[in-house]
A and B are shown apart, each in its own frame.
Chain A
Amino acid sequence: MGDFIPFLFNGLSISSILLLTAIGLSIVFGMMGVINFAHGEFIMIGCYSSYIVSLVLGSEGSWLTLLLAFILSFILSFGIGYLIERLVIRKLYARPLDSILATWGISLILQQLARNIFGSNNVDAPMPKILSKGWEVTEDITLPFNRIFIILFAVLVCLFVYYFIYKTPKGRILQAVMQNRSMASCIGINTKKADAFTFSFGCGLAGIAGICISMLGSVGPSTGQNYIIDTFLVVILGGIGGLRGTILGALLIGISSPFIENFTTSSMAKVIILSLVLIVLHYKPQGLSPMKDRTID
């Protein structure tokens, strides 16, 4: 039992980070059908946002700098996402393969841009002092506050996204566009505006995830790349289109990782997890929790 708690905690911690990085991707992929290969770079933009805040306000971390970093990360990644949608993605909605290629190119450009602006070395972003401490559950077990914070924060972000998409008029408008584009425009919805907003919103959420990642260690131009594969895995395992699937996918991959890593190497664990995902997809090609209704069956 004593061993079990750190494993579970580690798993939850990984899950929460996966969830934060995947939720924006899942919205863009699930609602718009656009595969955004630059999603990792929006995470990177978020990581650098907390660094930028520290450049301006000094490297002393506090709750205020953290709050400012969250706000800046969302604004920056939302804004850059909006620009990219207007300039590139919008022209490629009917051509999924081209949009994969284009977003991959954008990903490379953004990484290089980060190298030019911030240098290729990793940087550290400060966080509130208290978060670098931990909760000593027993003599051997200490749960770091920053990880507890990220778990709670992921829950909060999920609640917010759920509320926004399912309970507000604006969210319903986005849903309608994604469910039936031409009918949505026939009842007077501006579908181009909805597309731009959905894409930017997904990017903004990636930015927020970046802040959480910057709380765990140094970040650099390729930080986004380290997370993008697992993030895609979560979205595909969960099933496209629903928040529930993404949460389920993140929990499954996140919680099983430390247990599997326990009896093998971490690269072997990756192979095992990938195989498990493939097996699930073999039996459930739509993922664990796809959307369904009468019009489809």
Chain B
Amino acid sequence: MFEIKNLTAGYSNESSAIHNINISIPKNEICSIVGSNGAGKTTLLKSIMGLMPSKSGEIIFDGQDISKLDSEAISQLGVAYVPQGRMIFPYLSVEENLLLGCEVRKMNLKKALEIGYDYFPDLKEIRKRKGGMLSGGQQQQLAIARMLVIDPKMILLDEPAEGIQPNVVQEIGRILQKIALDLNVTVLLVEQFVSFAINLSQSYYFLQGGEITKESRVTKDNVHSIVKSIKL
């Protein structure tokens, strides 16, 4: 169970970009957070990942409050992050980008490469190319692969469908479902592509102006009405 309790965070002292957020995600489920530009989606993920200090509230992962830890410690606990803009290391090759997290953790590199290229065979052909030279879609695949190979317990994705061609978006969706099932990973998916996100998820939250305004479980029966009801 991953839980956020009364989280408030922001960039200046006066105003907060997100207020009083409460979210809970059962283990190994996919939960999506949808919201329009500037709603506070990225801010929420950054504060989970320790990239910005929260003003108040708790973030409980694996029974422990991680809201005061730094990014390195949070990553070492098994939380992996695919940021908006991918943040691929531009002067490292595809393969070096992919393996970096494994090298830090002293994991088996050969196995990691197999897993990474198994999910994203296209990356194998460009493995020697510098990260900064990849197209947006290739960078997106690499960012997801880089996260998978470190064997995470929870993954945070910031708009993985942004700027990606439709069939690759569907492929990424299939991969996320596979990861959640096969690897026992909890997924927090931030998206503006509402139908894509809701269809993958077991629950969703609607973020508007820094606050959660709607939330519910997603089932076969209500998925269509939820998608219709959300207007960004």
List residues of A whose CB falls within 8 A of some B CB: 169, 172-173, 175-176, 179-180, 182-191, 291, 293-296
Contacts and interface: CB of A to CB of B under 8 A. Distances in A.
Interface stretch (B3-11, B87-95, B177-185): B87-95
Contacts of A182: 51, 71, 87
A228 B184 CA distance: 56
20 contacts: A172-B96, A172-B103, A173-B103, A173-B104, A175-B91, A179-B90, A180-B89, A183-B89, A184-B89, A185-B72, A186-B49, A186-B71, A186-B81, A187-B100, A187-B101, A187-B150, A189-B104, A294-B132, A295-B132, A296-B132
A243 B32 CA distance: 45
B42 to A, nearest CB: 13
A214 to B, nearest CB: 35
B83 interface: yes
Chain B contact patch, size range = 20 to 34
Nearest to B85: A295
B76 interface: yes
Contacts of A185: 50, 70-72, 75
A240 B94 CA distance: 23
B55 interface: no
Nearest to A190: B72
A80 B134 CA distance: 41
B100 A176 contact: yes
Given A172-B100, A187-B150, A188-B150, A293 B132 contact: yes
Nearest to A168: B103
Interface of B: 49-51, 70-72, 75-76, 80-81, 83, 87, 89-92, 96, 100-101, 103-105, 130, 132-134, 146, 150
Given A185-B50, A188-B75, 12 more contacts: A176-B89, A179-B90, A182-B71, A183-B87, A184-B89, A186-B81, A187-B101, A188-B150, A191-B72, A293-B90, A293-B91, A294-B90
A186 B72 CA distance: 6
A173 B81 CA distance: 18
Contacts of A294: 90, 132-134
Nearest to A242: B91
Contacts of B103: 169, 172-173
A242 to B, nearest CB: 9
Contacts of B71: 182, 185-186
